[in-house]
Structures are given as C-alpha cells and as structure tokens.
A and B are shown apart, each in its own frame.
Chain A
Amino acid sequence: MKCPVARRAAGILLSRGDMTVISLNSTRTSVDGIQSSYMAQVQRRRLYGGLTLLIFVVLMVSGFNIADDRNAGGFWEGLHQIGDYPADVLTEAWEKRADLPGLIVKYFPALIETINIAAVSTLIGAVGGLFLSLLGTRGLAKWPRLIPVFRRLCDIMRAVPEIVIALVLIFVLGGGPVPAMIAIAIHTAGALGKMFSEVTENADLKPVEGLASTGARWSQRMLIGVLPQVAPNYISYTLLRFEINIRASAILGFVGAGGLGYELRNAMAWGPGRFDEAAAIFALLFGTIVLFDQVSSRYRNRLTEGKGQ
C-alpha cells in the first residue's frame, strides 16, 4: 500500500517542477516540506477513512445484533431453514404439476387485476405528477407564488408509503382494487412530480416565451412549448414507475387490496396441501415482474438513447 502513495507524491513533485526551478536555492527544503505535508494529509485522510469505516462496521454489526435480538427467530438458527419452505412448495408443486396450468388459468384474473391497479395508478399518478412538476417549476408555474406549496405537497405525497393510505381507505371503502389504486396513484404522483420537475427545470424556455408572445394560454404554452421537449424523459420515468408499481400493487394485495397478493396471502394461510396454489401464484408474479422489467427497460433505452421515434 505504500508504493502508490510515494508515486502520488512523486506525481505532485513533477507537477510542481516549474515552481521549484524558480526557487532553486530552497529546493531541498521545499520538497521536504511538500512531501511531509502531503504525507500528513494522506495520514489524516486515512485516519478519517478508517474512522468512517470503523463507525460503519460498528453500526452494521450492532444493528445486525439488535435486529437479530428483536426478531422472533434467530439468524443462525434460521439460516439452514431458508431452503425448507421453497423446497416444500416446489416438491408439492412438482407432485401436482398436472394441476399447475389449471391453477395458472385460475389465478390469471387476479394477475390482470394486479396489473390493472398498477397501470391505472401509474396513469393517474403520471398526470398528477405532470401538473405538480409544471406548477412547481420556476419559470413555468401558473402561480409562481404557490411554487413552494406544490413542492411541499409533492414531498409529502412522495413520503407517504402506499400502505398507509391503502389501509385507511380499505377501512372506509372496503377491500378491493380501488383503495390500492388511489394509494399507489398518490405516491406515484409525488414521486414522478419530483423526477419530472428535475427534467422540466432543464427545459428550454424559449418556446414558452415565443408562445407567450403570441398570447397563448398557460395550458397551450405547456402543451406545445414544454411537453414535446420533456416527453421522452417523462415517458421513460413513467415506465420505470410502472415496473415499481406492479410490485407495489402485489404487496398491497397482501394487506387486503385485491389482486394476486391477496390470493397469495390466502394460499399461504391454507398452508401445506395447497402449496401448489402458492407455487402457481409465485410463478405468475415472478413471470410478470420479469416480463415487464424487460419490456420497459428495452423501451426506456430506446427513449433515452433516441433510437426509434
């Protein structure tokens, strides 16, 4: 580890060579001085780096111990059991493999519901995020005084985990896809609002000014002046969000919001004997997530790299 340091010091000496020519008489002392101060700096940086690393390691280890203590089962006892549940599920699914296609057909409507929740909430969330970002960006906002209000609104919507709104809405509206849809849409609007406004901030304002000079209304300025500039990035972010929302809608199903997650919870509650159903749901969920990941990442690449139209 010493060599690169010495080499780095040598590099510094080389670059400072011009200076040393000017004051030849003091070369020896100044070189020593530079070298020692450089070494001191390196030492200090190493110390800080080491301390940071130490704090990090202490945090990780103590954090792990606390989490292990507060967990129902211990880490080391559980470690060798990780494979048990998947093995049980897989063996049972394999024994009943003839039923699997039927089960997949049976749960397909639930899958459609999960995807629908994600799609609608992404759609609504993207429209909401669009308005939040336009209203919260300097130079574009319809009411410049309200920019901080819209930004805070965006932050708060983004900070609310979907499950909070979903659980409250399930209490009021009853179970089903609508609470999940609203919950995910609110979070999506906040999250996309922030990402969108990062894009909009870099948008060229000249078209907007040009349109304003013709007397265009705010909606026209946005629609014609801003949206064409930002559309590729917006769509790319929206697709990314769609991927995330499919996962979210599956998870929300688990707390009672319908779709595949709900079926999964029921299948799990039955326990052994119905593991083939759990396996079918796992397979559907996994396949869907991977499929949409691949499709969306392909389109996102095309959008951001400007290939295709």
Chain B
Amino acid sequence: MTAVDINAVKTEADQLFLRKKLIGFALPTVVFAYLVYIFFAFDISGIAGRANWDNAVTLASDSWSHKVHVTRDNRSGEITYAVEGERKGTYPEGQRPDWVSGDEVITIDLGGDHVVRYLPGNRTEIELPGFQLIEVRAEGRQLTSNLPAELPDWISASNRRIGITTPEGRITLTGARTEVFNYFSGWELFWFTLDSPYHGQGFVNILLGDRIDPERANIKGAVSDWWNNAMWRHKDVAWAIGETILMAFLGTMGAAIAALPLAFLAARRFSPIMIIRAATRRIFDFVRGVDALIWTVVLARAFGPGPLTGALAILITDTGTFGKTFSEALENVDQKQIEGVSSTGAKPLQRYRFGVIPQVVPVLLAQILYFLESNTRSATIIGAITGGGIGLMLTQAIQTQKDWEEVAYYIVLIIVMVMFMDWFSGWLRGKLIGRKG
C-alpha cells in the first residue's frame, strides 16, 4: 500500500470519526432542545400551580381508608350512623358503632382524647387535647360558639358553618346538621354490608359455626350476601371484568378469523393478481390507520354503548394488523413443504391445509395470543369511551370523586386481570406451540 493510499484512508477514517462525534453530540443536543421546547409547550412549570394537592391527599388517604359519618339532623334531632355517609352503608335501626355511647347525650369518642358530645337542644361540645372546650349551639340557620377570634388554621368558622379538622377525624357543623367523620383504615363493608346478618362474623364462624340466618345455610347465605353486596357491587364488578375480557376475546379471535383469508389475498405467493393484492393491503392499512378510537366512535353510533361495540372496534382494527402480519408470515412460507405435499397429488386446498397451515400456525398463534393480552388493556380503555366493562366502572368511580377506595379496588383488579391474561396467553402459547427460546 502506498503512502498516498494510507493518507486517503486516514482522512476517510478521520471524517468518519468526526461524523460520529458530531452525531454523538448532536443527538443529545437535539433531544435536550426538544425537551426544553416541551417544558414550555406543556407548561410544566405551571403544573405545580394548577395541581390540586388537596385532591391528591384525599385520593391517597381515601383509597385505603374509610370514614364513618355520625350525623345529627338539627331539625328532627335524629342521629344516623353511616359508612361513607351512604344510604347503603347506614347502620340498621338500633345499631351503632361501639365508639359512640349515651342516650340523652351522645358521646363520640374519636380516639386520642378527641371527644364530641351531641347535647340536647342542638348543642355540641368538642373536647380536643391542647385546646379549649368548644361549645356550639345551632339555632335556625345560625351557629353560636365560644370560639376565640384568633383561630388555628385547622378550624374554619363563620356564623353559618364551622369546620374542624383533627388527626383523628373531621367535624362540620351547620345550622341544619352536625356531622362527625371518624376515619379508619381498610376497606369497610368489603365482605358484607351492615344489613347482612353475616356482618362482623368471623370467617371460621361462618364456615363452621351455628347457623346465623335461620332461613339459609351459612355458606350459601354468606356467598349470596357477599355477591350482592350493595356497597362494593361484587356481582357487577365480576360482570364488568367478564365483559372486558369478552371484548378482548371476541375482538381478537374475530379479527384473526377475518384476517386469515384476507391475508392469503394479500400475500404475493398465493395471490397472483397484483390489483387484488394491493387492494387488500390498502384495506389493511386503512382499517389500521382509522384506529380503534374512531372505530369506537363510529360503531357506538350504530350499536350504542356496550361490550359488542368495543369488541367490534377491536375486531376491525386488528383485522388490519393481523392481515399485515399474517400476510408477511405467509410470504415467508417454505416452498419445499408445499412442493412435497403437491408431489403426492394433493389438490390446492389440501396443499394449503398440509403444506402451508402447519408452517404458519405457530407464528399466527403467537401473534394472536400476544394480542389477546394487549387487547385486554385496549378493551379497558375502549370500555371507558364506549361504556362497557371495568373501564366504565373505573371512569364512573373517578368521576364521582369520592369513592376512592373503589377506584383503588378497580385499579388493583384491572392490573390483576391484565397480568392474568398475560400469564394465561403465555401458558396457552406454551401448550399449543411449545415454549420458544
């Protein structure tokens, strides 16, 4: 090699290095510049101002705790005890939580020396450690209290409404009603609502103990009361999860069935006519490009909200995706196997059945099963849009903005459902085509 050659190679190498160096610096710079642009375009600095941290606190604490309301109607003097203040969670007549005592004077022990007393004549006494005894009287729509003019920030007071927030619970007083919220951890009434005879019974007691409800056998009654629990709606939740999985199943399998014959039309090897091939491919591109969102919107107009609409939206979109991948799999089929089968005098249909299908089935099944899992997630999202399945229950629970324990419950269920489908499709794949790699 001559010196000239070496020099040429050297400059070439130098240029290559320079280019690589430039790319090495330019790429991070571009990414950084883009992120700076996004920082301003999305107004990230303003997010702290717009964020509602009270919401975050409510969400975080409510998702794993519940509160019991003790409410005195100041007009009738009637006192109600209800979990989360809901009618479904109201204590039946004659029952009340054990931290409430007294008949004339109702004493509510919030714990930690925080005590609230409902006195006759719509008077209320609130005893808090390290603070004076608060006395409030409600008359008509007015409140008169002995609160000092200077108030700590955990008390808000006017002559119409007084709110006191303590670590042990919250107290709100208005002319019409006096309410105490006592907070507890855990999901209350998850198993049985208060009107069920099985509430408060231990698991062992229900399983092995004496008959609790004379009408029904223990296990049967307990299961039925749990299943029809009005607070947590286990039956509806189970149906919703079933609907979501059904959407994913119908959509995926329907798409696979529809896509298989179309894929033959789109594969060069099996479809000699160029126009048909191109047309089928454009159809695949079109249905994929329109996307599940638009299909959902369009189909919901025709079929109304529900699982069928979601299933059809998944079906149509995935027909495009499957068609594309199936036809690619068909293009890559090994010709030898087909020749072998045709050498035995097999007719075209038999050539497909014994020469082509066994080759592509593992690829197709892997694809279908992967999509089954991914579509469970899509079905949750589509359900939230079109109204069906667990996605709808989740959006409803979030929109009411108070049932955060239900939101947490649904989120856990959704994650478990998707992970189960992931495991299940992997298991099925292992059974059907053997583990790969």
Interface residues of A (CB under 8 A from B): 3-4, 7, 56, 59-60, 63-64, 66-68, 70-75, 78-79, 81-82, 84-86, 113, 116, 119-120, 123, 155-156, 158-164, 167-168, 171-174, 176-178, 181, 247, 250-251, 254-255, 261, 264, 268, 282, 285-286, 289-290, 293
Taken together as a complex, chains A and B put the C-alpha atoms of A268 and B344 apart, in Å, by 60
Interface size class of B (residues with CB under 8 A): 35 or more
From B243, B247, B288, B344, give the contact of A7 (CB < 8 A): B344
B47 on the A face (CB < 8 A): yes
Is A70 within 8 A of B384, CB to CB?
A: no
Whether the Cβ atoms of B415 and A159 lie closer than 8 Å is: yes
| Nearest CB of A to B346, in Å | 7
* Closest chain A CB from B432 CB (angstroms): 9
Among B31-39, B100-108, B258-266, B267-275, the stretch in contact with A? B31-39
Bound form: Cα–Cα A123–B388 in Å: 32
Residue of A59, A74, A171 near B401 (CB, 8 A) is A171
- In whole angstroms, how far apart are the Cα atoms of A73 and B292 in the complex? 19
When the two chains form their complex, are residues B289 and A171 in contact, meaning their CB atoms are under 8 A apart?
no
Smallest Cβ-Cβ distance to A80: which chain B residue? B302
Q: What residue of chain B has the Cβ atom nearest to residue A68's Cβ?
A: B308
Q: How far is the CA of A86 from the CA of B243 in the complex (A)?
A: 27
Can you spell out 29 A-B residue pairs with CB atoms less than 8 angstroms apart? A3-B346, A4-B346, A72-B304, A73-B306, A75-B303, A84-B302, A85-B301, A85-B302, A113-B41, A159-B414, A159-B415, A159-B418, A160-B414, A160-B415, A163-B380, A163-B381, A163-B394, A176-B47, A250-B291, A250-B293, A255-B385, A286-B289, A286-B290, A286-B294, A289-B289, A290-B285, A290-B289, A293-B285, A293-B288
**How far apart are B294's CB and chain A's nearest CB, in angstroms?**
6
Contact of A172 among B56, B253, B305, B418 (CB under 8 A): B56
Which of B273-329 touch A at CB < 8 Å?
Answer: 285, 288-294, 297-299, 301-309, 311
Cβ contact within 8 Å between B247 and A67: yes
Assuming A79-B302, A251-B292, what are 7 further A-B pairs, CB within 8 angstroms? A3-B350, A72-B304, A116-B38, A155-B419, A159-B422, A255-B385, A289-B288
Q: Is the CB of B415 within 8 A of A268?
A: no
* Shortest distance from the beta carbon of B114 to any chain A beta carbon, whole Å: 29
Contact of B226 with A by CB under 8 A: no
For residue A250, give the distance in angstroms from its CB to the closest CB of chain B: 6
Distance in Å: Cβ of A42 to nearest Cβ of chain B: 13
Q: Using CB atoms, name the residue of chain B closest to A62.
A: B246
* A163-B391, A254-B293 as given contacts; A116 in contact with B56, CB under 8 Å: no
B398 CB-CB contact with A under 8 Å: yes
Query: Using Cβ atoms and an 8 Å threshold, which residues of chain A touch B414?
Result: 159-161, 164
* Number of residue pairs spanning A and B whose beta carbons lie under 8 angstroms apart: 186
In the bound complex, what is the Cα–Cα distance between A161 and B55 (angstroms)? 22
In the bound assembly, the distance between CA atoms of A66 and B244 in angstroms comes to 12
Are the C-beta atoms of A167 and B394 separated by less than 8 Å?
A: yes
Q: Which B residues are within 8 Å of any A CB, using their own CB?
A: 31, 34-35, 38, 41-44, 47, 50-53, 55-56, 59, 243, 246-247, 249-250, 253-254, 285, 288-294, 297-299, 301-309, 311, 341, 344, 346, 350, 354, 377-378, 380-381, 384-385, 387-388, 391, 394-395, 398, 401, 407, 411, 414-415, 418-419, 422
A123: chain B residues within 8 A (beta carbon): 31, 34-35
Secondary structure at the B interface, as helix, strand, loop or mixed, is helix
Bound-state CA distance A63–B253 (Å) is 11
Determine how close the nearest CB of chain A comes to the CB of B58; give it in whole angstroms. Answer: 9
Chain B nearest CB: distance from A261 CB in Å?
A: 7
From residue A174, how far is it (CB to closest CB) to chain B in Å?
5
Residues in A whose Cβ lies below 8 Å from that of B41: 113, 116
B302, A73: Cβ atoms under 8 Å?
yes
Whether the Cβ atoms of A67 and B243 lie closer than 8 Å is yes
Q: Compute how far the CA of A271 lies from the CA of B50 in the bound complex, rounded to whole angstroms.
A: 31
Which residues of chain A are within 8 angstroms of B344 by Cβ–Cβ distance? 4, 7
Given A70-B306, A255-B384, A285-B291, A63 contacting B35 (CB threshold 8 A): no
Which B residues lie within 8 Å of A174 (CB)? 50-52
| Cα-based distance from A115 to B129 in the complex (angstroms) | 56
The residue of chain A having its C-beta at the shortest distance from the C-beta of B20 within the complex is A309
Cβ contacts under 8 Å, B35 to chain A = 120, 123
**Do A4 and B308 touch (CB < 8 A)?**
no
Neighbouring B residues of A285 by C-beta, 8 Å: 291, 293-294
Least CB distance, A173 to chain B, in whole angstroms: 5
Contact A264 B308 (CB under 8 A): no
Q: Which 10 A-B pairs have the closest CB atoms?
A: A72-B304, A71-B306, A73-B304, A71-B308, A78-B303, A85-B301, A159-B418, A81-B302, A290-B289, A78-B302
Closest B residue by C-beta to A164: B411
Query: What is the distance, in angstroms, from A138's C-beta to the closest C-beta of chain B?
Result: 14
B250 touches A63 (CB 8 A): yes
Known: A66-B246, A68-B308, A247-B293. A161 touches B381 (CB 8 A): yes
Contact A177 B350, CB 8 Å, known A67-B308, A261-B293, A282-B294: no
Contact of B299 among A74, A82, A113 (CB under 8 A): A82
User: A73, A119, A171, A181: which contacts B59 (Cβ < 8 A)?
Assistant: A171
Say how far B427's CB is from chain A's closest CB, in angstroms: 15
Alpha-carbon gap, A164 to B380, bound state (A):
9
* Contact indicator A78/B50 (Cβ below 8 Å): no
Given A3, A64, A67, A282, which contacts B306 in the complex, CB threshold below 8 Å? A67
